[in-house]
A and B are shown apart, each in its own frame.
Chain A
Amino acid sequence: MIFVIDDDEIMAEAIALNCKKKAQIFSNAIMAMTAINEGLVPDLIFLDILLDGPDGFTFLNELVSYSDTAKIPVVIISSLDFSGRDLSEYGVVGILEKEKMLPSEIYEYAERYSK
């Protein structure tokens, strides 16, 4: 199971489509965290940073603070510039720029990290 967290639903749908695997879309971090708390733990998360309510970094902090979610791989999808930043301590395995990312890159992450 893959989570796609993006308040732009059209973008989220396009990402989910390109995963070619079972993916669940959330428009904010609270909904995603609620799903995790209810036992739906994803193999991989595609995460936008600028979200309604708690932002992506707040969500990342939540994830790494719990033992059962600390190791979930996260791919950041954002229009913000993260060049030169190492976010591996948050479980971030990749950063995709929304304006440049390719369907094949999304698919590769999905293939590599999701069962």
Chain B
Amino acid sequence: MTQDTGAADLTSPLAPMTAGGSDQAASGGRLRKAAARSIAWLQAGPMMLVFALFFLLPLVLVIIVSAWDYNEYEMIPAFSLRGYTDTFEGCISGLPELCTILKTYLKTLKLCLLTWGLTLFIGFWVAYFLAFHVRSKTWQIVLSLLCTIPFWTSNVIRMIAWIPLLGRNGLVNQGLIGSGLTTQPIEWLLFSEFSVVLALVHLFTFFMVVPIFNSMIRIDKRLIEAAYDAGASGWQTLVNIVIPLSKPGIVIGSIFVITIVMGDFITVGVMGGQQIASAGKIIESRLSALQFPAAAANAVILLGITILIISALTRIVDVRKEL
């Protein structure tokens, strides 16, 4: 319906000139529109295909498998919610004591929150320094590239590099004992929540720096001057101008960090000495026990929780609008 009127509008100036031509022109307009639409589809096509094949399809499979039955050694393609009920086993009967799964999720959330807070704090100030204190474009680029250097080595190597530093006989402990600050080596430096958070912050701060820097660099410097002109102190300018205008970057960086940390099991495993449970770790251990439906069910639960957190974040800032 709307198409027809559109085509008619297009050709209406021609109508009086060529009495019979208006039909032709109308169909020509429709054809052109159809062609334009198919070009748009063609342009979006490759990405859609990749997206469908490598994201949507696996996701649908995971959801389907999560509702299958299973026993000790195989999965049975029949509808069952055993994956879910097994996961939450004893959660109601065991109250007020928290069941394993809830404890694990609380622990994961705690690690996630700590990492998020620290990466946000560090990332914000690094981005602030890069965007407002480094004056020349060249230096901004050089210093941002410098931030990426750690990514030249793999995650695992960067994690393992902490071990000789933080271990019982590691550099830090030796230094502390040598300087007489302690007599006993500090145990909580490695294979602890401390070391897990430390490694996570080390690995993921950069994901906070980039989007926040990107938001800050787009703040018109004249706005800072205008605030100064209005008598704002440095701190007032930060709170009233810089932070509100960096919000999109903060939210995007937060989404990066939270999704990565919520699903992480390697860092938690290596740096926690395989002693700390996390949501990702549950999935991994279910998988290695070949209990695919249970692993899938856990994956769906994790996905649900992560989506909840992210939608809460995007509720605070409408990222689409701010971009």
Chain A complexes with chain B: no
